[in-house]
Chain A
């Protein structure tokens, strides 16, 4: 078991290196650089920046150096000093801008994950046990519908309904008075009061997918010989169901946590833009549009790292609950 976790941890190293490389590559990709954008913005307001000033700016940010040197500076800064560089647009260190937003991103995605599981498991089991019944058809249809509605559309519709019919704005994660307030218990309660809306919206997609997977897994397991064996021992149907097929059908599902996390983060990004949630997504989008490369890079790196860590945790969890993997 320890050996397995160790091997899995060792695997994280090249993945993290690749992710950091990818993130840096992506933010370097757009033609021109922040200075170009900056100069263009100034020019639009009739301010002329001469070539020398632009050149100075480039030198200060080290934008002239070769890719690998810039990458090395960037990644060592992060690893050694926790320094993610300077946000051009905000004129302050990136590390000051990201952590709260990443924290809220994590909170949002993990609550969504918990909710998804809590809803999808019983429905998946029920659908499988009552295969081809009205209940099964109903939930199957709902699940397909959930898969077909993009999260942002759902968010828009919900906001429309809330505004038009209830005169209420459901966007954001905080009420106005808490938006800039320091953290306090009241602020946390306020957060929870707002959090459930995006959680529900995000959970719809994941739940729908998970119901399908759980149903299929259960159908596979329900007709295995060990179920007959358990039945021959005299267990009641419900106890038998929970102890054997459900227990085994969950195992492949645990590895889906790993796959769901990237999807959740993706979904959260766009829903957050629509609902103007103070999480990573909207700021990433803004940073990408204004070529604020270090800010965008930090978000990309952290979001990818988050999913990699999620994968790692789901793999370890799977090994904990499934002895076959542990002994392999």
Chain B
């Protein structure tokens, strides 16, 4: 294996500096629409165009439910008044409230993740996989993928939970020792996405096992998933799952021109 080590060294460090600094490279995130005021009728038109009902009209504006947004860009392209578009990626939100605290400092440097594919299209899984690659390298933050629930602290679930994957998912969750946290990744895992609840899928993880952190996106970019892992360990603040019409959404670092 001569040659490989120099080749690796020649490549240099490509790893993002997130969460110490913002990642500004182009193309790392598709962004999300933002709720806000809308001209009369424009809000309704946007809500009508949204195929998953993520956009709803709300006192003279639109609100966006990020659990449902599937990045279809129906609201952004070919309409006279598109909503504001926020480019960031810190979208993950803690949803258990007080029921589950973030995993404490004991888990700060070594956290085992079991990834369960409950019927995703392949994109979320591919983005989770990118986290182990050189660009995102979640190992530097103490996150490691494990193949067995017996040694897992976090269960990352992608996909809308198909009928066939329901029992394996429940079994995996039950096989994990406490304390354990569940991170649902992607619109399908949050709301069923375009597959919705149907005869063949449960329409989201929350209906099957308790979810602690939700990461919106279709698929969420790797940085959003990383944010989800940081939220579950209490190392980054949680974002909101809903962008209301009235107030601007709390965006700790991801502001900037839409």
Question: Is chain B a partner of chain A in the same complex?
Answer: no
- A contacts, CB < 8 Å to B: none
- B contacts, CB < 8 Å to A: none
